[in-house]
Structure 1
Amino acid sequence: MTTMDIHEILKYLPHRYPLILVDRVVSFESGKRIHAYKNVSINEPYFVGHFPHYPVMPGVLIVEALAQAAALLTARSQEAEKNTEQVYYFVGIDAVRFKKPVIAGDQLSLKVEIARQIKGIWKYTACAEVDGQIVTEAQLMCTAREI
């Protein structure tokens, strides 16, 4: 198991402000699972309009944070095998459930496991938690393309 700080994360993800949604990886098991964090600050640009009187992190961005964690898991796991630069695309989502709002000050715990990999498509089970309570869960899919 290993960890990753933001500098290492930025080596694997093409995302940048304001769409980098993984701040730290606290555990990583190659080809199996990743546990990462997104610190939710009132300074996030989406809080201006979602919603001004009760700032809530948009569900689509929680799913994006999970997808970025999945991309990190796959990119880091495939690192030894790839000879070219690749980008990981989010290609599918199933069974998404939003169970509780995420608000400013929360620390979003992102847990993603590889369920299977077939012909260049990875399928994951993913959940986001705040204070040990599941706020979002989903099944995600991604693929890699050379750039």
Structure 2
Amino acid sequence: MIDRIVELEPGQRIRATKSLSLAEDYLRDHFPRFPIMPGVLMLEAMYQTAAWLVRATDEFTHSLVLLREANNVKYSDFVQPGQTLRVTAELMKREGANFSLKCQGEVGETIAVRGRLVLRTQQVGGETAARSSVDAQIVHSLQDKFRLLYPPASGRLAAGSETA
């Protein structure tokens, strides 16, 4: 969903963008005469942005970054086709595998959505060695996607490497 990561400070914060196009399939139904980005997709953009910060902070150690909680999510403006949602996520606290983040999405100078997310890292295979190759494949795929979203990472993530 997010189009680009524009700024990244592992362990601190990240900024990403999502440009909304009238070509998005879901806009035909949401709403035909007044197309706007659904609130759940605004939340998804915040989650995805926060998850990339967690992955970069954790140096792509885990294959999964799961949403555990979405708290105090408030919507205050629409995102319409032709507009760009600029999402910021700041790491507030880390306790083991749990990351607490403050997130917000802006359109122009207006905050469109904000909230606090708790994300958790884990492996697909847990401690099972037989599934560790699945985890490695997922991490490799995520690193490839990360290089596309954040071109400055290309020099830091060597092909096949598992660290940022």
State if a TM-score over 0.5 links the two structures.
yes
User: Under a length normalisation based on structure 1, what TM-score does the superposition of the two structures give?
Assistant: 0.81
Q: Is 2:97–2:122's contact at 8 Å kept on the other side of the alignment?
A: no
User: Structure 1 residue 27: deviation in Å?
Assistant: 0.5
Q: Work out the number of aligned pairs and report it.
A: 124
Task: Give the aligned partner of residue 48 of structure 1.
Answer: 28
1:70 aligned to 2:47? Answer: no
What is aligned with 1:57? 37
Q: Return the letter of the residue paired with 1:112.
A: A
Pair 1:143-2:143 in alignment: no
Give identity over the alignment, percent: 30
Matched, 1:132 2:109: yes
- Superposition pairs of residues 1-147 of structure 1, within 5 angstroms: 21-79=1-59, 82=61, 85-147=62-124
Following the alignment from structure 1 to structure 2, what is the Cα–Cα distance between the partners of residues 146 and 132?
Answer: 38
User: 1:3 maps to which residue?
Assistant: none
Shift of residue 119, structure 1, vs aligned partner: 2.4
Instruction: Report the AA paired with residue 109 of structure 1.
Output: R
Q: Deviations over 1:1-26 (max 9, x none)?
A: xxxxxxxxxxxxxxxxxxxx211111
What amino acid is aligned across from residue 50 of structure 1 in structure 2?
H
Larger Rg: 2
CA distance in 2, matches of 1:42, 1:107: 12
How far off its partner does 1:132 sit?
Answer: 1.8
- List structure 1 runs of 4+ shifted beyond 3 angstroms: none
Query: How well do the aligned residues superpose, as a CA RMSD in angstroms?
Result: 1.0
Structure number with the higher strand fraction is 1
What TM-score, normalized to structure 2? Answer: 0.73
Take 1:122 and 1:134, find their aligned partners in 2: how far apart are those partners? Answer: 23
